[in-house]
Chains A and B, each alone.
Chain A
Amino acid sequence: AQKVTQAQTEISVVEKEDVTLDCVYETRDTTYYLFWYKQPPSGELVFLIRRNSFDEQNEISGRYSWNFQKSTSSFNFTITASQVVDSAVYFCALSFTGGGNKLTFGTGTQLKVEL
Chain B
Amino acid sequence: SQTIHQWPATLVQPVGSPLSLECTVEGTSNPNLYWYRQAAGRGLQLLFYSVGIGQISSEVPQNLSASRPQDRQFILSSKKLLLSDSGFYLCAWSNGRVGGYTFGSGTRLTVV
Q: Find out whether the CB atom of A91 lies under 8 angstroms from the CB atom of B105.
A: no
The 8 Å CB contact of B88, one of A32, A43, A95, A101, is A43
Name the residue of chain B whose CB is nearest to the CB of A105: B44
Q: Considering only CB atoms and an 8 Å cut-off, how many residues of chain B contact the other chain?
A: 28
A33 at the A/B interface (Cβ < 8 Å)? Answer: yes
The 8 Å CB contact of B99, one of A44, A95, A102, is A95
A35 to B103, CA, bound (A): 13
Total CB contacts across the A-B interface at under 8 A: 57
Q: How large is the interface on A (under 10, 10 to 19, 20 to 34, 35 or more residues)?
A: 20 to 34
Q: Find out whether the CB atom of A45 lies under 8 angstroms from the CB atom of B98.
A: no
CB of B86 to closest CB in A, whole Å: 14
Name the residue of chain B whose CB is nearest to the CB of A50: B99
A100 cross-chain contacts in B, Cβ below 8 A: 32, 34, 49-51, 57
Q: Find out whether the CB atom of B43 lies under 8 angstroms from the CB atom of A103.
A: no
Listed in ascending order, the chain B residues whose CB lies under 8 Å from chain A are 32, 34, 36, 42-46, 49-51, 57, 59, 88, 90, 92, 94, 96-103, 105-106, 108
Other A-B contacts than A100-B49, A105-B36, 5 sampled, CB-CB below 8 A, are A33-B98, A43-B108, A100-B50, A102-B46, A103-B46
